[in-house]
Chain A
């Protein structure tokens, strides 16, 4: 009977990021996006100085790029300094930081538009994109505010350029725009050597305000609608996941309670049968039947113990972390030694190779339990004359433990179900009995230790089970190791 592992009930889980942390993360994303604008403006300044030398335009573009660089460094520092607690609510400070950044971005984008050709430059598309970014970072009301701000900037730029206050000729002597205009060669007299007729100018300006302003508000509305839909889907998925977790917990609790309820009477049966065998005056036939009763009750007891173990591990009732530093090599070698006799009796070669020292955070007996299950499987399913090799390979961050056998292997179409509870491969059932819970228990224990397990197998050739466990490098490592696995 495999030993029941000494695994505490309660397990540590990493908390999902809080809303404030998500808010800060999005702000960091905005500063990263702004580096692209900085690169774009700097490239434009370099291109102008090299291919279309316009001294004023070059200086203005460089100034805008320099300003963007400076305030992006400032905002990046401010955002990185505010590391919210995982449970903190979104803060007003971070929200204001986002608003200020987006407003400054809009001012500089419109400045770039004026420098590179005017209010109808293709950079209007970048402004629209930036408003979509604003909608994803802020509440809808703030995003609409920025859309209104962008419309005002656009209107001001069009008015000032159209009425001669920011005359394009001051920046670009040949009135050739650096970037193409959005409206191409439409009959609008975008570039004039002299101010256009006032009435015509006013009508075209009003039309452009309405069109571009409508685009800005439409961009924000459209982005917000998509994001709201995605948030709704996310909320439903979170709720469904919560219900699933609850059902899983209920199932584990039911398994544990029912295992306990069944174990008591079974223990009584076992003890009474043992008593009858000891003191009862039985004939050989009766003794044989009693042996069979006892054998079957032992099997049931093992099944109940494993169900109890698995449900206990899966029940999440609090926090606990591994509290011992365990020498992997020593633990594995000790377990392998326990199987020497069984291997010899079966005519198998059992070898253990350790390539270096490795220590991990673990609970007492956890590693022994994992190795017992895996070695037991390897020996059961390897025919006489075969080999079972255990190899321990320490790495920089983790230690790999491999158990490779030359056994019957696992059918290819069943390998994805190996860790399912109660699953046993069809060829395994023909070799010996079992509960189908061993690998589920092993996987649960390994994952609780912050590790990973994988299985590679070829039918008829053998199976290799690979474990990877994080090394116990420092105190904080065991909390991080367990948390990251959740």
Chain B
């Protein structure tokens, strides 16, 4: 059975592009445009991997969503990938190698990500 991936991003074009790439790779993709919508959806939909944008309505909405997902018993080990472009707003480049020390996520991808990199990362985490 195909793995289910949830993509949470407030940019509709990026959501669509990510869905195209992952669907083409054989995954089921569910989309959410905000943290609130995502939390509502996962009550009724089991997800195998999360792809979360960091900056949505607020600069750190993605981080807060990651923590909430981790607090849920059924998702405490589910892989999470963060999509970052935080340097645009704050001037601080988020170093994926170091950020993982304090965030409960398994991977970071810097926007814009390309299809190959995204698929490779997803495949690695769902192995």
Q: How far is the CA of A256 from the CA of B88 in the complex (A)?
A: 8
Q: How far is the CA of A263 from the CA of B86 in the complex (A)?
A: 12
B interface residue count range (under 10 / 10 to 19 / 20 to 34 / 35 or more): 20 to 34
Proximity bits, A223-264, B CB within 8 Å = 1, else 0: 000000000000000000000000000000000100110011
From B16, B87, B88, give the contact of A272 (CB < 8 A).
B16
The answer to whether B88 touches A271, judged by C-beta atoms less than 8 angstroms apart, is no
Which residues of chain B have C-beta atoms less than 8 A from A8's C-beta? Answer: 91-92
Which residues of chain B have C-beta atoms less than 8 A from A269's C-beta? Answer: 112
The answer to whether B21 touches A279, judged by C-beta atoms less than 8 angstroms apart, is yes
Q: How far is the CA of A275 from the CA of B23 in the complex (A)?
A: 10
- Give the contacts of A302-351 with B (CB-CB under 8 A): 308, 312, 315
- Give the contacts of A446-484 with B (CB-CB under 8 A): none
- Give the contacts of B59-101 with A (CB-CB under 8 A): 85, 87-93, 95
The answer to whether B13 touches A277, judged by C-beta atoms less than 8 angstroms apart, is no
- Give the contacts of A271-301 with B (CB-CB under 8 A): 271-272, 274-279, 301
Check A275/B90 contact, CB under 8 A, given A6-B95, A264-B11, A267-B85: no
Does any Cβ of A come within 8 Å of B18's Cβ? Answer: yes
Which residues of chain A have C-beta atoms less than 8 A from B115's C-beta? Answer: 271, 274-275, 277-279
Q: How far is the CA of A301 from the CA of B85 in the complex (A)?
A: 12
Does any Cβ of B come within 8 Å of A141's Cβ? Answer: no
Closest to B9 in A: A268
Does any Cβ of B come within 8 Å of A266's Cβ? Answer: yes
- Give the contacts of B90-120 with A (CB-CB under 8 A): 90-93, 95, 111-116, 119
Which residues of chain A have C-beta atoms less than 8 A from B119's C-beta? Answer: 278
Proximity bits, B2-42, A CB within 8 Å = 1, else 0: 00000000010110111011011000000000000000000
Does any Cβ of B come within 8 Å of A52's Cβ? Answer: no
Closest to A277 in B: B115
Does any Cβ of B come within 8 Å of A352's Cβ? Answer: no
The answer to whether A267 touches B90, judged by C-beta atoms less than 8 angstroms apart, is no
Check A9/B91 contact, CB under 8 A, given A271-B113, A278-B116: yes
Does any Cβ of B come within 8 Å of A270's Cβ? Answer: yes
The answer to whether A272 touches B13, judged by C-beta atoms less than 8 angstroms apart, is yes
The answer to whether B91 touches A278, judged by C-beta atoms less than 8 angstroms apart, is no
The answer to whether A279 touches B24, judged by C-beta atoms less than 8 angstroms apart, is yes
Does any Cβ of B come within 8 Å of A131's Cβ? Answer: no
Q: How far is the CA of A272 from the CA of B112 in the complex (A)?
A: 10
From B21, B88, B90, give the contact of A259 (CB < 8 A).
B88
The answer to whether A260 touches B88, judged by C-beta atoms less than 8 angstroms apart, is yes
From A6, A265, A279, A301, give the contact of B20 (CB < 8 A).
A279
The answer to whether B14 touches A268, judged by C-beta atoms less than 8 angstroms apart, is yes
Which residues of chain A have C-beta atoms less than 8 A from B114's C-beta? Answer: 270-271, 274
**Secondary structure of the A contact surface, majority rule:** helix
Which residues of chain B have C-beta atoms less than 8 A from A272's C-beta? Answer: 13, 16-17, 20
From B89, B113, B116, give the contact of A260 (CB < 8 A).
B89
Q: Distance (Å) between the CB of B99 and the closest chain A CB? A: 12
Closest to A305 in B: B87
Closest to B116 in A: A278
Q: Distance (Å) between the CB of A269 and the closest chain B CB? A: 8
Does any Cβ of B come within 8 Å of A4's Cβ? Answer: yes
Which residues of chain B have C-beta atoms less than 8 A from A260's C-beta? Answer: 88-89
Does any Cβ of B come within 8 Å of A444's Cβ? Answer: no
Q: Distance (Å) between the CB of A274 and the closest chain B CB? A: 4
The answer to whether A308 touches B113, judged by C-beta atoms less than 8 angstroms apart, is no
Does any Cβ of B come within 8 Å of A404's Cβ? Answer: no
Check A301/B112 contact, CB under 8 A, given A4-B93, A8-B91, A278-B24: yes
Which residues of chain A have C-beta atoms less than 8 A from B17's C-beta? Answer: 268, 271-272, 274-275
Closest to A3 in B: B93
The answer to whether B111 touches A9, judged by C-beta atoms less than 8 angstroms apart, is no
Q: How far is the CA of A256 from the CA of B87 in the complex (A)?
A: 10
Q: Distance (Å) between the CB of A276 and the closest chain B CB? A: 8
Q: How far is the CA of A259 from the CA of B85 in the complex (A)?
A: 12
From A4, A270, A276, A279, give the contact of B112 (CB < 8 A).
A270
Proximity bits, A1-24, B CB within 8 Å = 1, else 0: 000111111000000000000000
Q: Distance (Å) between the CB of B59 and the closest chain A CB? A: 11
Which residues of chain B have C-beta atoms less than 8 A from A267's C-beta? Answer: 14, 85, 111-112
Closest to A266 in B: B112
Which residues of chain A have C-beta atoms less than 8 A from B111's C-beta? Answer: 267, 271
Q: How far is the CA of A358 from the CA of B108 in the complex (A)?
A: 34
Check A308/B88 contact, CB under 8 A, given A271-B112, A275-B115: yes
Q: How far is the CA of A5 from the CA of B91 in the complex (A)?
A: 9
Which residues of chain A have C-beta atoms less than 8 A from B95's C-beta? Answer: 6
Closest to A5 in B: B93
Q: Distance (Å) between the CB of B42 and the closest chain A CB? A: 24
Which residues of chain B have C-beta atoms less than 8 A from A279's C-beta? Answer: 20-21, 23-24, 115
List, sorted by A's number, 26 A–B pairs whose CB atoms are closer than 8 Å: A4-B87, A7-B91, A9-B92, A260-B88, A264-B11, A264-B88, A266-B112, A267-B14, A270-B112, A271-B18, A272-B17, A272-B20, A274-B17, A274-B21, A274-B112, A274-B113, A274-B114, A275-B20, A275-B115, A278-B21, A279-B20, A279-B21, A279-B23, A279-B24, A308-B87, A312-B91
Q: Nearest 10 A-B pairs (CB), nearest first? A: A279-B24, A270-B112, A312-B91, A278-B115, A267-B112, A9-B91, A268-B13, A272-B17, A274-B114, A260-B88
Q: Which residues of A are at the interface with B, using a C-beta cutoff of 8 A?
A: 4-9, 256, 259-260, 263-272, 274-279, 301, 308, 312, 315
Sample of 7 more A-B contacts, CB < 8 Å, known A267-B112, A278-B115, A308-B87: A4-B93, A9-B91, A256-B91, A263-B88, A264-B85, A275-B21, A279-B21
